[in-house]
Amino acid sequence: MDQTDGTSSAQQRWFADRYAANARFVSDLAEPLIEILAPGRDEVILDLGCGDGALTKLLVDAGARAIGVDASIDQIIACRKLGIPSAVMDGHNLAFNEAFNAILTNAALHWMTSPDDVIDGIWNALKPGGRVVGEMGGAGNIASIISALTRALTKRNLQDKVVSPWYFPEEADYRRRLENRGFIVDSMELIPRPTPLPGAITAWLDTFGEQFLFIIPEIDRSAFKEEVAKDLEPDLLDPNGQWVADYVRLRFSATRPEKA
């Protein structure tokens, strides 16, 4: 189900309330990125895939002039409620020209399946000398979950009907793409990060796996999710009843040189 052909994840929807309930850990775990970015006072910074603005707000609190973009209108409404200037924008088509000192991006790039278009937009959005700091799902991310979903789909002979909405690159792949565009890669690290979930794996599937759930007739959807959960229990449910997702992050920082 790996693909980088630009097929959009049009069926995945983001509801700010559901995201806050089931995915707050996503921004909480990314706070080290702010330290790496080290936002300077009055620096103009873009949060690419800002979600509900939780991280963007930390940039603002640090004194930066931060704005957010996200493909989800619901998330942008939540972001604006925090008073953060933000706009609905597809990361494949960033509409900025040498506007930012820095770009921060967390848990967003893996939803963008044409990475070279995104990297090109990042390059254009940065001023010469600007930097990008990011974290995304990397190679092996949620491998157990993908396998269990694939098994449940295969049982229904639907395995070819879902195009993966995710791009989880190897270090070498992403480094090559950045360098091909002209970036200096300052750091790049694949980090296994088993991540405790705030609820059951079925809630994770509801929040992040809609692309897989939509093709299951509604009458079978609960059974489908329970089947996936049962399959995952040996790997992801710990003895205390805590679900722990098999996340792997690709964390990187890169600079657009002063002179290309």
Pick the stretch among 29-37, 49-57, 75-83, 135-143 that binds ligand BEZ (CB under 6 A).
Answer: 135-143
CA 171 to chain centre: 16
Q: Please name the residues in contact with 27: beta carbons below 8 A apart, sequence gap of 6 or more.
A: 51, 52, 54, 55, 106, 107
Torsion of CA 122, 126, 130, 134, to 10 degrees: -30
Quick one: 166 or 183, whose CB is closer to ligand BEZ? 166
Query: Which residues are within 8 A (CB) of 153 and not within 5 positions of it... i.e. 6 or more apart?
Result: 159, 161, 162, 212
The answer to whether 179 and 243 are in contact (CB under 8 A) is: no
Nearer residue to ligand BEZ within complex by CB, 99 or 200: 200
Q: Is the CB of residue 255 less than 8 Å from the CB of residue 129?
A: yes
In angstroms, give the least distance from the CB of 124 to ligand BEZ: 26
Helix (H, G, I), strand (E, B) or coil at 32: helix
The footprint of ligand BEZ on residues 88-117 (CB under 6 A) is: 107, 110
Handedness of CA 142, 194, 187, 41 (dihedral sign): positive
| Min separation Cβ 207 and ligand BEZ, Å | 8
Q: Which is nearer to ligand BEZ, 6 or 194 (CB)?
A: 194
Q: How many residues bind ligand BEZ (CB under 6 A)?
A: 9
* Residue 67 interacts with ligand BEZ (CB under 6 A): yes or no: no
Contact status: 141 vs ligand BEZ (CB under 6 A)? yes
Which residue's CB is nearer to ligand BEZ, number 71 or number 126? 71
Site for ligand BEZ in 162-181 (CB under 6 A): 166
Shortest CB 107 distance to ligand BEZ, Å: 4
Does residue number 137 form part of the binding site for ligand BEZ (CB under 6 A)?
yes
Among 14, 19, 167, 208, binds ligand BEZ (CB under 6 A): 208
Examine residue 212 and tell whether it contacts ligand BEZ (CB under 6 A). Answer: no
Three-state SS string over 89-154 comes to: CCHHHCCCCCCEEEEEEECCHHHCCCHHHHHHHHHHHEEEEEEEEEEEECCCCCHHHHHHHHHHHH
Residues near ligand BEZ (CB under 6 A) are 26, 107, 110, 137, 141-142, 166, 208, 247
